[in-house]
């Protein structure tokens, strides 16, 4: 089953003469458990694509389906809950809360979700696996970049999301820490059958992923073999939008 499907997705920012067509008709299908690298030059639309998939922004045209559910059909409130339970984000700048310690930062997505309880055992397991259990009472400013990124990975994984979206997660890390962080993401992907879409500028890392999707000028230029097989039947299929 496809966990994620995009049909003719377009994103236009701004109005009139300030318009930027950031995505120009993206079609893609992703299977459960795939670890995908997204590559492309600066400004090609990689972050825009992740933001749309993650529901941080909405497409101008087209459809996005996660677990067969059309995200556009959800109300804002439903989308927030759906996103929190199904999607984990890892950003380049970590985006940790400075006033919360490591444990509290990781538990934060659960705290927002009233229907759910803290699974202390699972949080401990995650922190131990990521090698930051000993740092659980420390604050972000007391940690190295690599440690902060591991906290942000733990936070992204705490709800056991089906999809993890990582936007240059190792962009600020040295090469040894990069290898470590990618290894942790991969291990998590395998253990919890998670699907990971990771933007990276690192060619060597991209080569270790299951698939590389290359975006240029808002279009997928390679890496979409799975979709291409069935795309003939979608030709002229604007009724899908
Ligand atoms: N909020 C916004 N408002 C207007 N234009 C935007 C906005 N966000 C992105 N853009 C434009 O959309 C295009 C795609 O941007 P995007 O951030 O997706 O690129 P990217 O591939 O992630 O680049 P980078 O590798 O530098 O992070 C760029 O031309 C950018 O200037
Ligand atoms: Mg970007």
The answer, yes or no, to whether any atom of ligand 1 lies below 6 A from the CB of 51, is no
Residue 109: per-residue pLDDT: 81
Torsion of CA 28, 31, 35, 41, to 10 degrees: 0
Q: What is the pLDDT of residue 115?
A: 57
b/e for 55-84, b at 16 or more Cβ within 10 A?
Answer: beeebeebbbbbeeeebeebeeeeeeebbb
Strand 219-222 and strand 211-216: pairing?
antiparallel
The DSSP output letter for 164 is E
CA distance 40 to 8: 19
What is the per-residue pLDDT across 107-156, written as a single tens digit (0 to 9) for each?
A: 988 777 665 666 888 899 889 988 899 999 999 999 998 899 999 999 99
Q: What pLDDT score was predicted for residue 229?
A: 40
The domain segmentation of the chain, as residue ranges, is: 32-59+74-222
d(CA 106, CA 101): 9
pLDDT recorded at residue 77: 87
What atom in ligand 1 is closest to the CA of residue 13?
Answer: 4
Residues in the chain with pLDDT values less than 50: 227-241
Which atom of ligand 1 sits closest to the CA of residue 18?
A: 4
pLDDT for the residue 225 = 63
Look at residue 71 in the predicted model and tell me its pLDDT. 84
The fourth-level CATH superfamily of domain 32-59+74-222 is P-loop containing nucleotide triphosphate hydrolases (3.40.50.300)
């Amino acid at each position: 089953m496809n966990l994620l499907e995009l049909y003719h997705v377009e994103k236009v920012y701004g109005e009139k003469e300030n318009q930027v067509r950031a995505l120009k008709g993206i079609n893609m299908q992703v299977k459960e458990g795939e670890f995908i690298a997204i590559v492309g030059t600066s400004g090609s639309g990689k972050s825009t694509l992740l933001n749309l998939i993650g529901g941080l922004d909405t497409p101008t045209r087209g459809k996005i389906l996660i677990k067969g559910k059309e995200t556009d059909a959800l109300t804002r409130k439903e989308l927030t809950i759906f996103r929190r339970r199904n999607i984990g984000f890892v950003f380049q700048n970590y985006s940790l809360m400075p006033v919360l310690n490591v444990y509290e930062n990781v538990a934060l997505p659960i705290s927002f979700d009233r229907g759910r309880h803290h699974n202390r055992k699972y949080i401990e397991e995650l922190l131990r696996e990521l090698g930051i259990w000993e740092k659980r009472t420390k604050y972000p400013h007391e940690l190295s970049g690599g440690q902060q990124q591991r906290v942000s990975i733990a936070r992204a994984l705490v709800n056991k999301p089906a999809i993890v979206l990582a936007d240059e997660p190792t962009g600020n890390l040295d090469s040894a820490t990069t290898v470590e962080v990618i290894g942790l993401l991969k291990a998590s992907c395998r253990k919890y059958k998670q699907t990971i879409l990771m933007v990276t500028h690192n060619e060597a890392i991209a080569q270790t992923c299951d698939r590389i999707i290359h975006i240029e000028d808002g279009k997928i230029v390679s890496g979409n073999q799975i979709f291409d097989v069935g795309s003939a039947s979608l030709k002229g299929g604007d009724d899908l939008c």
